[in-house]
A = this chain, B = another copy of it.
Amino acid sequence: MDIIEEAIEAFSQLPGIGPKSAKRIVYSLISSPQKGKRIEGAIERLSNDLTFCKICGNVSDGEVCKICSDPNRENTICVVGKPLDVMSFEKTGVYRGKYHVLGGLIDPLSGIGPQDLRIAELKKRVEEEKAPEVILALDSTVEGEATSTFISSLLRGSAKISRLASGIPVGSELEYTDQLTLSKALTDRMREN
């Protein structure tokens, strides 16, 4: 039954899908082929009809994405690692500026340096668009911190630079918050008066 095994393998490559879930998925596709057709079509369109915005690097259905071509968006640039992060910020509905997608984070262990990311494009863009502020919205990981620090020193003097606040996640209890987060939350405490 090599066809089934190969299909299970193919689905196991997806993030968050282990061999057991892949098996369930494949057998569900066998019993309802129309689900499979729909996924085939969706994948087809993802690869044929999507491209990357030449300004911000986000996924887009045209040369320039909807956000970059929106005249109502402010000139602030929010720098993120990957397209999914743009979606997350857009869902909040709080941010009215634009984005810049780096396409990854600096990660020497995997051989990813600043030249592999869209950092030169960011610098050029900040100068051309006269962005008043650049928000570094990268993962709170070693790679994210390294990338933020690199960009921060590169852009010094060109724009106001800020980073996302770090602290206690909303709705979580102190008892279950790790010590690094706790000390960061303490150091960055906000004055109330």
Contacts and interface: CB of A to CB of B under 8 A. Distances in A.
Interface in A14-44: 14-17, 21, 23-31, 33, 35-44
Contacts of A44: 40
* Interface size range of chain A in the complex: 35 or more
Number of copies: 2
Interface string A68-106: 000000000000001110010000000000000000000
A31 B61 contact: no
A83 B146 CA distance: 50
Interface of A: 1, 3-4, 6-7, 10-11, 13-17, 21, 23-31, 33, 35-47, 49-50, 59, 61, 66, 82-84, 87
Top 7 nearest A-B pairs (CB, nearest first) are: A7-B42, A10-B42, A36-B43, A27-B84, A10-B38, A33-B47, A16-B21
